């Protein structure tokens, strides 16, 4: 692979931890380059999360080299050539150059190679096959940098073949488009995704959820999710999809993206969150929040402090953003600035007044809570106790 210019690497790829890692690899004569998302994002000048490094020796050799340099190393996926190095508390994923020997639509049997171009060819999109030496020398075998500049997500090689190898790539196509693309989509790549959209049923719910939620967490994912739906790529996993009208309105209102809330915004009002949660293997908590967001009931905006107290901050903010009553901005400000107090009396206080344990205590506490909320949470403990005593006498 020939160099294709130089880029400035962000600090995290040049700091002492990265230097120690490369020194360990150098000492063992192992050629290594940054690859994938970290190089792509370095080219863009945007933030990087995980650092992937391609290495030109088998994983066992890499492990020995790192251990000889007293670095911690975890055999993350030896079969696939991946080990994780932990240096000064930071992690790096090191994967041996490889090619896919056999694929079944999702998982590949791999063989290690010492050929950089072979390793590049098995990657999905042109801008995901960028490599960089630690001095910033760039390698760009498929003109990924130009595609990034043109905002084109383009498959490496024949899109149909690449999708047949791994159908998850259909979802990745739309996810990367949401983050780095701009309309119009690359024609051949999109057409192939549309052709294969009917065959996504064998993917796992978790992976689909991860891709869809990451897509939706992009700064402005509305066009991408729409393109994905038009291609039929949501038919199997999210038949409840109902367009981007609410999503677009939501994006204009929110201050921070939230994938799950945006998911709620593209679902029809009758969607069954429990069924979606099961299908996409969402956590119980995620499914519950989704349910509360889809329901959009009761509406917020009438008595903000009381609603914030009853719903809790997350649900209150979700509803304010999704329902957008006239005072939604006031609602968000309130959620930011005010933490609802706790009811100053409890069941124990009722028992002290001589009440027997039982449902009556619950009824009484409900009553006192309503009274306290109606008074805008102003009553202190003494006033609440007095009211509790008064109510107790009347029951």
Binding positions for Mg ion, rule: CB under 5 A: 37, 50
Produce one character per residue of 154-167: b if its CB has 16 or more CB atoms within 10 Å, e if not: bbbeebeebbbbbb
169 is an interface residue for ligand ATP by CB under 6 A: yes
Q: Near ligand ATP by CB under 6 A, which window of 68-76, 123-131, 217-225, 300-308?
A: 123-131
Pick the closer one to ligand ATP by CB: 28 or 217. Answer: 217
Number of other residues whose CB lies within 10 A of the CB of residue 33: 22
156: cis peptide before it, omega within 30°? no
Q: Near ligand ATP by CB under 6 A, which window of 45-53, 263-271, 318-326, 362-370?
A: 45-53
Least CB distance to ligand ATP at residue 346 (A): 48
**Contact (CB, 8 A) for 228 and 195:** no
- φ/ψ bin of 21: left (φ > 0), alpha (ψ from -120 to 50), beta (otherwise): alpha
Q: Which does 308 bind (CB under 5 to 8 A by kind): Mg ion, ligand ATP, none?
A: none
Q: Residue 4, class by beta-carbon neighbours within 10 Å (0-12 exposed, 13-18 middle, 19+ buried)?
A: middle
Residue in 227, 121, 129 with CA at minimum distance from that of residue 165? 121
Residue 213: HSE in the Cβ half-sphere, 13 Å Cα cutoff:
16
Rule CB under 6 A: choose which of 119, 124, 211, 240 binds ligand ATP: 124
Q: Across the strands, what pairs with 137?
A: 6
Pick the closer one to ligand ATP by CB: 128 or 286. Answer: 128
Least CB distance to ligand ATP at residue 152 (A): 16
Rule CB under 6 A: choose which of 33, 56, 98, 123 binds ligand ATP: 123
166 is an interface residue for ligand ATP by CB under 6 A: yes
Rule CB under 6 A: choose which of 32, 34, 36, 334 binds ligand ATP: 36
Q: Near ligand ATP by CB under 6 A, which window of 16-24, 49-57, 251-259, 324-332?
A: 49-57
Rule CB under 6 A: choose which of 12, 26, 44, 52 binds ligand ATP: 52
173: cis peptide before it, omega within 30°? no
CA distances from 151 to 43, 137, 143, 180, 252 (A): 13, 22, 12, 6, 23
Pick the closer one to ligand ATP by CB: 49 or 337. Answer: 49
**Footprint on this chain of ligand ATP (rule: CB under 6 A):** 36-37, 49-50, 52, 123-124, 128-129, 166, 168-169, 172
């Amino acid at each position: 692979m020939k160099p294709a210019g130089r880029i400035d690497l962000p600090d995290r790829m040049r700091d002492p931890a990265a230097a120690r890692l490369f020194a360990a690899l150098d000492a063992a004569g192992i050629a290594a380059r940054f690859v994938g998302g970290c190089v792509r994002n370095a080219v863009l000048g945007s933030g990087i999360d995980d650092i992937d490094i391609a290495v030109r020796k088998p994983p066992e050799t890499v492990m020995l080299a790192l251990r000889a340099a007293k670095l911690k190393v975890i055999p993350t996926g030896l079969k696939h050539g991946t080990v994780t190095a932990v240096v000064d508390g930071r992690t790096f994923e090191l994967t041996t150059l490889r090619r896919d020997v056999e694929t079944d639509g999702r998982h590949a049997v791999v063989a290690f190679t010492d050929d950089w171009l072979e390793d590049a060819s098995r990657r999905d999109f042109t801008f995901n096959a960028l490599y960089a030496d630690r001095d910033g020398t760039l390698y760009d075998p498929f003109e990924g940098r130009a595609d990034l500049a043109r905002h084109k997500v383009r498959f490496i090689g024949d899109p149909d073949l690449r999708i047949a190898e791994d159908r998850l790539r259909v979802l990745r196509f739309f996810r990367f488009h949401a983050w780095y693309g701009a309309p119009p989509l690359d024609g051949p790549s999109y057409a192939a995704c549309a052709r294969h959209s009917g065959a996504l049923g064998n993917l796992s719910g978790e992976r689909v959820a991860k891709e869809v939620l990451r897509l939706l967490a992009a700064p402005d994912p509305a066009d991408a999710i729409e393109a994905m739906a038009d291609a039929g790529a949501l038919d199997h996993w999210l038949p409840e999809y109902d367009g981007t009208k609410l999503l677009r309105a939501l994006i204009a209102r929110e201050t921070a993206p939230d994938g799950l809330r945006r998911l709620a915004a593209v679902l029809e009002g009758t969607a069954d969150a429990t069924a979606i949660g099961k299908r996409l293997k969402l956590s119980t908590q995620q499914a519950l929040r989704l349910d509360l967001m889809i329901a959009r009931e009761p509406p917020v905006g009438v008595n903000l402090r009381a609603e914030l107290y009853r719903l809790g901050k997350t649900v209150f903010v979700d509803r304010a953003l999704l329902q957008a009553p006239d005072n939604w901005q006031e609602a968000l400000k309130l959620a930011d600035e005010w933490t609802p107090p706790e009811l100053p009396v409890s069941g124990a206080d009722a028992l002290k007044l001589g009440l027997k344990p039982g449902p009556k205590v619950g009824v009484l506490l409900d009553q006192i809570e309503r009274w306290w909320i109606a008074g805008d949470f102003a009553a202190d403990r003494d006033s609440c106790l007095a009211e509790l005593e008064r109510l107790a006498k009347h029951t």
